[in-house]
Structure 1
Amino acid sequence: MIKPTLQRLAQSPLVRNFSVLTGATMVSYLMSFFVVMHVARTLGPEEYGKVGFAQAFVSYFMLIASMGLETLGLRDIAKDKSRAISVLTNITILRLVLFSIAYSMMFFFLYLFPRDHISNTVVLVFGGYMLLTPVMQEWYYIGNENFKIVGMSRIVHSILYCGLIFLIIRRPGQVVEFTALQVGANIIPLAVLWYPLLQRINLRYFDFAQIRVYLRSGVWLMLSSFMAMIYLNMDKVMIGYLLPGKYLGWYDAAYKIILVLIVPSSLLWGVMSPRISRFERRDILLWVAGMAVVGAGIALCIFPVRHWIVDLVFGVQYAPAAAPLGILALSMFANHCAKAFSFPLQVWRCERYFFFAALAGACVNVILNVLLIPRYELEGAAWATMAADTTVALCALPFFVRGMRKGKARNG
């Protein structure tokens, strides 16, 4: 009885898709992590902090370039695959327009709030990532539950990116070169995703009414993501302006370790999101339970060895990163619960509820960052992040329960 059940589970599309995406993503993140180790040690905390500031600064304008269209397109294709070409055409056109707007706004704000010449240059170069990131087209394949080409794209990107970085970045001062490679290494993997799609895009399917629908929903998702980005990245922006550059380098080192630790949650969402969009109750419960277990496991495993991890990955010059890393590791349970309850709201046409939860987290984060960073520096920023994650989880929970009830009623 148990053996046939395990065989059916192993042969199920869910497990197969998760295996493909997990394999490709783990290879990608492992190679990228070696790049982080190499670049952080080569550039040093001061220059590495400039890269972290650029990534945090650009991330806000990337929301305008994206506007949640990947989530909306994934949702529409998952529900009705016959509309795939129409969805692809309209979202592609809209994204090109939004990129032009976002980059212009980024240039204007950088002019109003300038930093040193190198930091400004790094920001402008990294802004190209808004257009070239392959993630902007993965949604089409994920919506069709075709994970093989997504995995292929991620592996190609990792090999190319890793090879170029180790070949070219060899000495301190190569901050601009590193940023240019970050952006340029996306061209080939983006082509892997785009080549099959170019043959399917058809301007006859351009529908201004559909564009308006995406804009209405996208505005809510953009505002929600903006609020989420505040409590994810505002600490780095504020540290960059309030404290010396090496402090941001230390904090960003801890943050990069956390980014690796949240890979499993990204994988789970990538595989489960089409099924959650269709209100498949068993998979929704599996999603919530899986997120809670992963978040708790990260907190319990990382906190005791935080000093050893920092020394191993970045070296003794990044030793101050251990303190914020320990706090951020403990916050992983709240972070994963927040994602478990809030992410489904995006694909259940509950964008406004997602926004309210993210808004609450952003407000808590900004207030605590202002109060804690000047006094407690890096530890204060990490505690503000934990409080924001907890706030989002508590605020999203009732909306999640309400969405579950509506989905059950709708599906009979």
Structure 2
Amino acid sequence: MQYLVLIAPIALVTPYLAGRVWYALFRDTMSANATQRIAKNSALPLVASLGNKIVDFGFAVVILRLLGPEGIGKYTVASVLALYFEIVTGFGLDTLLTREAAKRWDDANRILNATVLLRLVLWLAVAPFLLAALLIWNAIQPLGSDLIGAVALLVLATIPSHVSSALSRLFSASERLDIPALVTVGTTICKVVLGLSALFLGWGIVGLAGVAGITNLATLVALYLLVREILFRPRLAPNWVASRALIGSSYPLMLNNLLAIVFFRFDVILLQALAGATVVGWYGTAYKFVDALLILPSTFTFAVFPLLSRYAGSSRAALAEAYDLGVRYLTILGLGAAAGLFAVAPGVINLFADDRYLPHSAYALQLLVWFLPLSFVNGLTQYVVIAVDRQRAITSAFALAAIFNLGANVVLIPLLPGYGYLGAALVTVLSELVLFIPFVGALRQEVALPRFLRHALRPALAGAAVVAVLWPLREASLLLTIPLGGIIYLTALFLLGELGATDRKIARQLVGRKTEDG
């Protein structure tokens, strides 16, 4: 406890110090030209996101060992419920605030007040319904005081989260994405330090939820001070008429976000209701490893989206070529990752979690990995849909996928008593296929489609070679199996003719550009 008293103040000021020190060192970039601002606003948030992902994954590994399957299951359920609540009460206002403040910066304070007031009103309106639903659920199926307490604290934590999110978007509107990116790094450090302290003190999932609220409050204070020092002094000027006027514009944005989360995470709620927290823990543990790999396509898509947007306006042939090449590389990456993880799943779970999660988390991971190739391709395809100005199709696509996901989970999870997580994993994979179909349908009249099956054939054969070699070695050290799998996969791709002159040319261009820049 003495350690916590000493370390907590340092951790709590870390978000502010991260943003403030960065600004002190690089304040001159406020006057940089457009190209420099774009580069800074692209590169730093990306690096910060990667760093946060790595730290979060390390933190997750510690949590897996300290909480065990049941504790992980309960905290996963609490986090998903709080996430649904945050999306509904956030109401898509982050995107709206960025857009409107960027257009009318002189009116930024009024827009900030309007969005924050609407979030708080929605919070007060929706919170009683969540509380009632939780109490009814607990009456039907006892959830445990720790899970209910964690949900309550996480829901309270959304209040400072909403305000800090609005303040962060002011930096986005003023093309200073570097500041909130650095604050986020500080927030992650604060969360990990205080979270580990709470766990080692034996406070469990309620302690973790409390840390989330404290961390969000520290982030709010940090962003408020930085907005006041760098942008302008926010003034409290609530105006319900202005807030109410935002509802029509922000509702579709909230609906898109909500459908996407229902599509990905409703299986957690059903598993808790039908199978219990331990089963959720097995499934949630496997999902963490798949989720960690999703940084790969998002990084790639983030980098190529400006290029896709330019091609969409100037040359559909060039767009088709870039899209085809992107699908090819993401398919190679996705199938390679899926094949390798499928073969070594038991070793991965045993190393990063422990044997309490075996064999169930390994079984779930071996199914979930096949979600990766389609998810990688869908991530790029979604941004091509946006590039050709067909973004309305995204809402209908996610609605279709969410309906399928809900229905299929309701059917499959009860059919597999004790193994409902396998039904949830299978539905997750199939849902990506359901999402893929309307995405492709939206693009059919806009751009020549990639050769999806052709691009998948040889990587699939190379992946089969990886599984054939690694499966007998699945109990061996990952220090042996992971490098060996990579070598086998690349060798098979070369022997099958998948990697050739075009790829060598692209590699030379990348090396040449790097050398030239250096």
Matched residue, 2:223? 193
Shift of 1:298: 4.0
1:181-200 residue CA offsets vs partner (Å, 9 max, x unmatched)? 12322222232223233544
- In structure 2, the CA distance between the partners of 1:204 and 1:237, relative to structure 1 (3 Å rule), is closer
Kept after mapping to 1: 8 A contact 2:349/2:357: yes
Matched residue, 1:356? 396
Matched residue, 1:26? 50
- In structure 2, the CA distance between the partners of 1:316 and 1:362, relative to structure 1 (3 Å rule), is same
Matched residue, 2:348? 309
TM alignment of 1:77-88, pairs within 5 A? 77=101, 84-88=108-112
| Structure-2 separation of matches of 1:272 and 1:145 | 20
Kept after mapping to 2: 8 A contact 1:66/1:136: no
- In structure 2, the CA distance between the partners of 1:271 and 1:86, relative to structure 1 (3 Å rule), is farther
Shift of 1:228: 1.9
Matched residue, 1:163? 193
Matched residue, 1:340? 380
Shift of 1:168: 2.9
* 1:169 match: secondary structure: helix
Q: Which residue identity does 1:182 align to in structure 2?
A: A
Kept after mapping to 1: 8 A contact 2:80/2:265: yes
Q: Is 1:300–2:336 an aligned residue pair?
A: yes
- In structure 2, the CA distance between the partners of 1:217 and 1:340, relative to structure 1 (3 Å rule), is farther
Q: Is 1:175–2:205 an aligned residue pair?
A: yes
| Structure-2 separation of matches of 1:188 and 1:288 | 45
1:49-107 residue CA offsets vs partner (Å, 9 max, x unmatched)? 10001112222222211111112233445566566444333222222222222323221
- In structure 2, the CA distance between the partners of 1:294 and 1:187, relative to structure 1 (3 Å rule), is farther
Q: Which residue identity does 1:259 align to in structure 2?
A: D
Matched residue, 1:408? none
- In structure 2, the CA distance between the partners of 1:77 and 1:397, relative to structure 1 (3 Å rule), is farther
- In structure 2, the CA distance between the partners of 1:200 and 1:298, relative to structure 1 (3 Å rule), is farther
Select between 175-184 and 265-274 the one with higher mean Cα deviation.
265-274
Q: Which has the higher contact order (CA 8 A, sep 6+)?
A: 1
Q: Which residue identity does 1:191 align to in structure 2?
A: V
| Structure-1 separation of matches of 2:378 and 2:283 | 22
| Structure-2 separation of matches of 1:283 and 1:15 | 24
Matched residue, 1:132? 160
TM alignment of 1:76-155, pairs within 5 A? 76-77=100-101, 84-114=108-138, 115-133=143-161, 134-135=164-165, 137-155=167-185
TM alignment of 1:229-248, pairs within 5 A? 229-248=261-280
Shift of 1:330: 2.0
Q: Is 1:250–2:278 an aligned residue pair?
A: no
Kept after mapping to 1: 8 A contact 2:117/2:238: no
Kept after mapping to 1: 8 A contact 2:167/2:227: no
* 1:145 match: secondary structure: coil
Alignment gaps of 5+ in structure 2: 1-34, 448-518
Residue in structure 1 matching 2:408, options 352, 368, 371 = 368
Q: CA RMSD in A?
A: 3.6
| Structure-1 separation of matches of 2:122 and 2:238 | 19
| Structure-1 separation of matches of 2:248 and 2:309 | 19
Kept after mapping to 2: 8 A contact 1:220/1:351: no
TM-score by length of structure 2 reads 0.66
Percent of pairs with identical residues: 20
Select between 168-177 and 20-29 the one with higher mean Cα deviation.
168-177
| Structure-2 separation of matches of 1:86 and 1:396 | 38
* 1:113 match: secondary structure: helix
| Structure-2 separation of matches of 1:291 and 1:200 | 46
Shift of 1:153: 0.9
1:346-379 residue CA offsets vs partner (Å, 9 max, x unmatched)? 8999775332111100111011112221234212
- In structure 2, the CA distance between the partners of 1:330 and 1:135, relative to structure 1 (3 Å rule), is farther
| Structure-2 separation of matches of 1:343 and 1:142 | 20
Shift of 1:251: 0.7
Aligned residue-pair number: 394
1:29-59 residue CA offsets vs partner (Å, 9 max, x unmatched)? 2222121111111111111110001112222
| Structure-2 separation of matches of 1:39 and 1:290 | 36
| Structure-2 separation of matches of 1:260 and 1:386 | 16
Matched residue, 2:252? 220
Kept after mapping to 2: 8 A contact 1:78/1:277: no
Alignment gaps of 5+ in structure 1: 1-10, 405-412
